[in-house]
Amino acid sequence: MSQRPLSVAVIGAGMAGRSHAAGYRQVNTVFGEGLPPVRLAAIADVNEQLARDAARRYGFERAVSGWEEVVEDPSIDAISIVVGNSLHRPIAEAAIAAGKHVLCEKPLAGSLEDARAMVAAEQSADVVTAVGYTYRRSPAIAAIRDHVQNRELGELTLFDGRYWCDYACDPRGPLTWRYRGGPGSGALGDIGAHVIDVGQFLCGPVVAVSGAVLSTQIPKRPLPLGPTVGHDAAPVSEEMGEVENEDTAVFSARFESGLSASFSVSRTAFGMPNGLAFDVYGLDGRASFDWHRPSEYLFDDRQPEARTRGVRQVIVGPQMPYFAGGYPMEAPGVGGGNAEMFVYQCRAFLDQIAGTPDPLPRNASFADGLHTMQIVQAVVQSAQSGGAAVPVPTH
């Protein structure tokens, strides 16, 4: 195995960018030996102060203000793209053309046209590309997937997924890029992409959607007076701007297997800081998960003793995927946070680049990210046509 360091950079120093940076810093602390040394080369952000702070916090060598400097640096092998959706395509295309490996945050791009172009670049180049669907890396969610694939729930009858957040409840919250881009690019593209991916991770590809309704609870927001970071509050002016996308979306879906599903997403669900949750039902059992309680899930099946039948709490521990070797303290009930998911994602990305034996399944591809965006577009079309059924292309 080559011990030449893998040199990595992160483009974007906001809350998700910092999560990627922290992930790269920790990749050699999980799942044993096998990965070459990792050089933490650069953090790029137009907000230079933010870039410098992230570089300091996570041990990167330097901070730069432009992504072009990262792409043009021949010493950098791999990058994470963690900026506004409309910038994903130009950065990814330039990085791939420069021979760099790319891990891109979801949603894959700002438009289907851009997403298709990124998939074309992925298919034409000899580099590793991936999309950041971190919830696949949850030990509890991965364990539920095992239950499904082992048919412990029997034939599946229903998937109900939701992602409810409250980051947009304040009407004085600034009009950032998250509120631009048109229908489908709001809560549906931002957080809906995650729960759609979880549904497909568990139940297979979605082939049609119907009954969609999109709504915006806060149609105008004040313009920010300066740079904004993530969902943080920021000084705003008295000038208002139009919100161009949805705060809430609900829709039904059909998987390739014929299984029916319901999805709801909202960024205006008061009291729900990060409420990804789902229930999956079968003829012989059920499983439920809530990210606000990430170290457990609920499970029920046809137990032989009638007196003890019923839902039981399963505590996440070393018997589940990702846990053994993935936590410093390998004891039940002590892990399951968001930060670890980014470490596992970065580790899988770098293992694939290095060609080392993969301790983890590969990340989603650009093609997977395109398919999720096609589902989002089908939801928009269903909403615009009064809830009509809309097919989703399969690959």
Give me the pLDDT at residue 218, please: 97
Q: Residues 150, 296: one domain?
A: yes
- Joined together, the tokens standing for residue 125 give 């180049």
Q: Residues 322, 195: one domain?
A: yes
Do residues 31 and 325 lie in contact, with contact meaning Cβ atoms separated by under 8 Å?
yes
Which residues are within 8 A (CB) of 270 and not within 5 positions of it... i.e. 6 or more apart? 166, 169
Q: Residues 58, 169: one domain?
A: no
Q: Residues 283, 235: one domain?
A: yes
The Cα-based distances of 171 to 8, 183, 219, 247 in angstroms read: 38, 19, 9, 12
Q: For residue 307, what is the domain's CATH number?
A: 3.30.360.10
- Joined together, the tokens standing for residue 57 give 């916090």
Reference 231, options 194, 286, 190, 192; nearest CA is 190
- When divided into structural domains, the chain yields a total of 2
Residue 71 lies in a domain: yes
* Three-class DSSP category at 155: coil
Residue 296 lies in a domain: yes
Strands 62-64 and 38-44: parallel
Domain end call among 135, 158, 185: 135
Do residues 163 and 195 lie in contact, with contact meaning Cβ atoms separated by under 8 Å?
yes
Domain end call among 95, 117, 135: 135
Q: For residue 126, what is the domain's CATH number?
A: 3.40.50.720
Q: Residues 152, 297: one domain?
A: yes
- For 83, the domain range is 6-135
Give me the pLDDT at residue 1, please: 45
Residue 124 lies in a domain: yes
Which residues are within 8 A (CB) of 230 and not within 5 positions of it... i.e. 6 or more apart? 14, 15, 16
Q: Residues 94, 168: one domain?
A: no
Reference 104, options 51, 322, 115, 236; nearest CA is 115
pLDDT tens track, the chain, 395 positions: 457 899 999 999 999 999 999 999 999 999 988 899 999 999 999 999 999 999 999 999 999 999 999 999 999 999 999 999 999 999 999 999 999 999 999 999 999 999 999 999 999 999 999 999 999 999 999 999 999 999 999 999 999 999 999 999 999 999 998 999 999 999 999 999 999 999 999 999 999 999 999 999 999 999 998 777 767 678 889 999 999 999 999 999 999 999 999 999 999 999 999 999 999 999 999 999 999 999 999 999 988 887 878 899 999 999 999 999 999 888 888 877 889 999 999 999 999 999 887 778 899 999 999 999 999 999 999 999 999 999 999 86
Give me the pLDDT at residue 175, please: 93
Domain end call among 82, 105, 135: 135
Residue 170 lies in a domain: yes
Please state, in angstroms and rounded to a whole number, the distance separating the CA atoms of residues 217 and 232. Answer: 19
What's this model's pTM, rounded to 2 decimal places?
0.93
Whether omega for the bond prior to residue 107 falls within 30 degrees of 0, making it cis, is: yes
Give me the pLDDT at residue 337, please: 84
Helical (H) or strand (E) element with 275: strand 275-282
Give me the pLDDT at residue 99, please: 97
Residue 351 lies in a domain: no
Reference 72, options 108, 97, 105; nearest CA is 97
Residue 78 lies in a domain: yes
Do residues 291 and 277 lie in contact, with contact meaning Cβ atoms separated by under 8 Å?
yes
Reference 138, options 194, 81, 66, 214; nearest CA is 194
Question: Please, what is the Cα angle at 330 between 134 and 200, to 5 degrees?
Answer: 25
Please state, in angstroms and rounded to a whole number, the distance separating the CA atoms of residues 14 and 46. Answer: 11
Give me the pLDDT at residue 394, please: 80
Please state, in angstroms and rounded to a whole number, the distance separating the CA atoms of residues 367 and 281. Answer: 28
Q: Residues 237, 263: one domain?
A: yes
Please state, in angstroms and rounded to a whole number, the distance separating the CA atoms of residues 184 and 215. Answer: 11
Please state, in angstroms and rounded to a whole number, the distance separating the CA atoms of residues 51 and 64. Answer: 7
Ramachandran quadrant class, 260 (left: phi over 0; alpha: psi -120 to 50; beta: rest): beta
Which residues are within 8 A (CB) of 247 and not within 5 positions of it... i.e. 6 or more apart? 168, 186, 187, 215, 216, 217, 218, 266, 267, 268
* Three-class DSSP category at 343: helix
Radius of gyration of the chain, Cα coordinates, nearest whole angstrom: 21
Give me the pLDDT at residue 122, please: 93
Q: Residues 50, 147: one domain?
A: no
